[in-house]
Amino acid sequence: MKRTKEHFRGCLLGEATGDALGRPVEFLRPNEIKKEYGENGITDLITDINGKAGITDDTQITLFTAEDLLRAETRGREKGICHLHSVVYHAYLRWLQTQGYPQDSEKDFIYDGLLITVKELYARRGPGSTCLSALSSGRMGTIEQPVNNSKGCGGVMRVTPI
């Protein structure tokens, strides 16, 4: 598989576009979708008054994941060290802040990064309670010591950048 910038960009744009397409029907049942959008369901992006289609928390977290994978790669190359799980965990803590969960002000490292400065990301877009509670617990889980016992599919949204 090719791994060029164009493929990476296309993957992220495809995820965001699919997310925006599905956002209006994310929590609807199939019969509700057909009633609202017809037999074929939703087939076009639904835009706001400014012509923009909204994204969900899935794209938000995907973007924070991508940002910190790049940061981890850079740190590894420049300093020869990087704990990938910690870097990505702190990305998710920054995302959590955009959802209205304030962080400990003594942890300045949480507030760095580019995405934390994008005001449009400071919007709750349907984040799952498992994700919110795990991140707000203040603990970084591991496979051996998980923060919760969720069996949901929320982790799928974070693999796009990988």
| Identity of the residue numbered 13 | L
Contact 18, 12 (CB under 8 A): no
Q: What CA–CA distance (Å, rounded) separates 26 from 63?
A: 19
104 annotated binding-site participant: no
Dihedrals φ, ψ of 47, to 5°? Answer: -110, 160
58 annotated binding-site participant: yes
Q: In whole angstroms, how far apart are CA 136 and each of 58, 95, 97, 117, 144?
A: 18, 11, 10, 20, 19
Q: In whole angstroms, how far apart are CA 70 and each of 64, 94, 143?
A: 10, 15, 23
48 annotated binding-site participant: no
Binding residues for Mg(2+): 56-58
Binding residues: 56-58
